[in-house]
Amino acid sequence: MHRRAIIFHGTNASPDVAWYPWLAERLAARGLVVELPHYPGLNAEPIASFAPKVLAGHTFDESTVLVGHSGGAALILALLEHVTVDQAILVAGYCTRPNTNDEPVLKQSYDWAAIKSHVRDITFINSRHDPYGCDEHQGRAMFDRLGGTQIVRDDGHFGDYDQVYDDFPLVDHLIG
Do the beta carbons of residue 158 and residue 69 sit within 8 Å?
A: yes
Q: What is the percent of the chain where pLDDT is above 70?
A: 99
pLDDT in tens, 118-171: 999 999 999 999 999 999 999 999 999 999 999 999 999 999 888 999 999 999
Label each residue of the chain as H, E or C: CCCEEEEECCCCCCCCCCCHHHHHHHHHHCCCEEECCCCCCCCCCCHHHHHHHHHHCCCCCCCEEEEEECHHHHHHHHHCCCCCEEEEEEECCCCCCCCCCCCCCCCCCCCHHHHHHCEEEEEEEEECCCCCCCEHHHHHHHHHHHCCEEEEECCCCCCECCECCCCCHHHHHHCC
Across the chain, mean pLDDT equals: 97
- Confidence band for 176, pLDDT divided at 50, 70 and 90: confident
Q: Provide the pLDDT confidence category of residue 1 given band limits of 50, 70 and 90.
A: low
Q: What is the mean pLDDT of residues 64-73?
A: 99
Q: What domains, with CATH codes, occur in the chain?
A: 4-174 (3.40.50.1820)
